[in-house]
Amino acid sequence: EAQVTQNPRYLITVTGKKLTVTCSQNMNHEYMSWYRQDPGLGLRQIYYSMNVEVTDKGDVPEGYKVSRKEKRNFPLILESPSPNQTSLYFCASGQGNSPLHFGNGTRLTVT
Amino acid sequence: AQKITQTQPGMFVQEKEAVTLDCTYDTSDPSYGLFWYKQPSSGEMIFLIYQGSYDQQNATEGRYSLNFQKARKSANLVISASQLGDSAMYFCAMREAFNNRKLIWGLGTSLAVNP
């Protein structure tokens, strides 16, 4: 089954404790992206990747890192999480002009 | 400047009736695509329907259709024969050809289907 898999679905952590949200897709898509969703602000792009070893900043990259060492994986790293990074995070992948496929989301709470 | 506008924060519809969710957009790129996604309370983002700027006909997918009025820059989603499971947030999004690295999103419309 074609899918984007994000883990974990829920994560509660404390300020400053490094964490990684994993994202994997099995559709051989070149394009992958991370979004965060906040009430009243909609979805905002954090980082995206056009292919392996090619990543670039989106609209709100501060406080986040990503890597794309393999085509299927695109982890999101928060080196020192802060409460303002409490949000719902989505990983998405796509190819060409086709619609983006989204993971099920990761609800992160930073206390 | 906001490029996708969804003017209806919340909508109600009676089960089995049709409902239209509004979306207007702004772009100077002649080549673009418009998408609608559904987000139920469980949180996942589900693709519903796509309309390309050069498509001659309005897109349809089952009970979903897109009322695309290019001159007015509107791409309204029509859901026919509403079901209780249609209760969700609905997002309109646009991808421009010159910057196809991201989708530009509206703020969404919350739809409640009443039995």
Chain B nearest-CA distance from A39, in A, is: 9
> How distant is the Cα of B114 from the closest Cα of chain A, in angstroms?
24
- Please report the pLDDT score of residue B79 as a whole number: 98
The partner residue sitting opposite B105, judged by closest CB among A33, A42, A104, is A42
Nearest to A38 by CA among A99, A83, A103: A83
Q: Is A105's Cβ below 8 Å from some Cβ in B?
A: yes
3-state secondary structure of B58: coil
Residue A35, pLDDT score: 96
Q: Do B33 and A104 touch (CB under 8 A)?
A: no
The yes-or-no verdict on residue B112 having pLDDT over 80 is yes
Tokens coding A109: 């709470």
B42 contacts: CB under 8 Å, gap ≥ 6: none
pLDDT by residue (tens digit) across A59-102? 999 999 999 999 999 999 999 999 999 999 999 999 877 888 99
Q: How far is B52 from chain A (nearest CA, A)?
A: 9
Place of tokens 């679905």: A9
Residue-wise pLDDT for B51-106, tens only, equals 999 998 999 999 999 999 999 999 999 999 999 999 999 999 998 876 666 789 99
- Rounded to an integer, what distance in angstroms lies between the CA atom of residue B19 and that of residue B78? 6
Task: Give A24-68 pLDDT, tens digit per residue.
Answer: 999 999 999 999 999 888 899 999 999 999 999 999 999 999 999
User: Which residue in B40, B87, B70, B30 sits closest to A105, CA to CA?
Assistant: B40
Please check whether residue B35 is in contact with residue B50, taking contact to mean a CB–CB distance below 8 angstroms.
yes
